[in-house]
């Protein structure tokens, strides 16, 4: 039952059509829903299967307090550090090579 509930919650979360056009959600709240930001901190207890779909998409206090990507204003140093950390991961860089034609060809030649 828990698995089916999680699945249904995921499905509802992914109901993009509704989230994009639901005027009761601000664009930032809609973005949080789409990107799957934290949903567990609902103000009134747990979020287990209560309410219908409309309730599910209503703005909650937790969403209002969640900073969204577009509102983040990082300084240059913070941004540089974040990107440097992100792209020092060798596995990530290896996966990224898939997106380049020559990279994939070189991999094939090496094999």
Nearer to other proteins, 2 or 70 (CB): 70
Q: Which of 7, 20, 50, 55 binds other proteins (CB under 8 A)?
A: 20
Q: Where are the alpha helices (DSSP H) in 14-87?
A: 16-21, 27-35, 53-56, 61-65, 76-86
Q: Which stretch binds other proteins (CB under 8 A): 19-27, 39-47, 49-57, 58-66?
A: 19-27
Please provide residue 45's backbone torsions phi and psi, each rounded to the nearest 5 degrees: 65, -150
Q: How deeply is 34 buried, as exposed, middle or buried, from its count of CB atoms within 10 A (0-12, 13-18, 19+)?
A: middle
Distance between CA 58 and CA 21 in Å, rounded? 13
Residue 17 within binding range of other proteins, rule CB under 8 A: yes
Nearer to other proteins, 28 or 62 (CB): 28
Q: Which of residues 31-50 bind other proteins (CB under 8 A)?
A: 31, 34-35
Place of tokens 């989230």: 19
Applying CB under 8 A, the residues found at the interface with other proteins are 14, 16-17, 20-21, 23, 27-28, 30-31, 34-35, 68-70, 76, 79-80, 83-84, 86-87, 93, 96-104
């Amino acid at each position: 039952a828990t698995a089916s509930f999680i699945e249904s919650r995921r499905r509802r979360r992914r109901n993009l059509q509704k989230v994009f056009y639901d005027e009761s959600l601000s664009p930032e709240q809609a973005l949080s829903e789409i990107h799957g930001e934290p949903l567990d901190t609902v103000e009134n207890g747990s979020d287990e299967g209560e309410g219908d779909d409309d309730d599910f998409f209503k703005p909650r206090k937790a969403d209002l307090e969640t900073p969204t990507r577009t509102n983040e204003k990082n300084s240059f140093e913070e941004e540089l550090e974040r990107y440097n950390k992100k792209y020092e991961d060798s596995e990530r860089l290896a996966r990224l090579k898939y997106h380049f034609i020559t990279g994939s060809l070189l991999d094939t030649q090496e094999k």
